Amino acid sequence: MSTQTTDATTVLPPADMEAMLDLSRFLAHVTEPAALLGPDGQTVPLPIEAYQVLVKVVESMRAGKAITVAPLDQRLTTQEAADFLGISRPTLVKLLEQGEISYERPAAGRHRRVRLSDVLAYQVRKRQERRVTLDQMTADAVEAGLYDVVPDYSEALRAARKRRAS
C-alpha cells in the first residue's frame, strides 16, 4: 500500500476510499480508544490523545482533505502562513507589519518566519471577533424590530422585471 505525500508530514487521501470508509464506520461505533494490533500480533493500547487525532484525521480524509501533522512551534514561510489562512501573501505581510501576527526574521536572512501557534491564535481571535460582531448586529436588528417585519418583495420584483424588459 503506498501513500501519496507532498512532504514529510502532509498526506493526501487515498485514491481508493473503501478502507478509509471502513475505518470511519468502525470509529463511529467506538466511543473510547481501542488498541493497535501490530503485524507480529502484539497489541498496544491507544492513548486517548492519539485516538482523538486518529478520529479527526479519518474524518478529514473521508471528506477528501489532505492532512498535515505539525508541531505548534513549527515555523512557516509567509506563503505557507498565507495559504493556511486562505489569504494572499501581501495581505499576510500587512498583518505582520501591523503586529496582528508575531513573526521572526533570522539575523542573516531577510525572509520572515511565522510560528504555526501564532497563526492559529490569530485565526481564533478573528473568529471570536466575527462572532461578537455578528451577535451585536443581530441584537441591533432585534432592537430595531427588523425580525418583526415581513418583507414585501413584490415591488422589488416588479421593478427588476421592468428593468429587464426594457
Asked if residue 112 lies in contact with residue 119, where contact means CB atoms within 8 angstroms, the answer is: no
| Domain boundaries for CATH 1.10.1660 within the chain | 75-143
Q: What's the CATH fold of domain 75-143? A: Multidrug-efflux Transporter Regulator; Chain: A; Domain 2 (1.10.1660)
> What are 109's strand-pairing partners?
none
pLDDT digits (tens, 9 = 90+) for 92-114: 999 999 999 999 988 777 889 99
Please give the pLDDT value at position 9. 67
Within the chain, which residues score under 70 in pLDDT? 1-9
Global model pTM greater than 0.85: no
Could you tell me which of 89, 72, 73 has the C-alpha nearest to residue 81? Answer: 89
Please give the pLDDT value at position 112. 93
The 3-class secondary structure across 111-141, one letter per residue, is: CCEEEHHHHHHHHHHHHHHHHHHHHHHHHHH
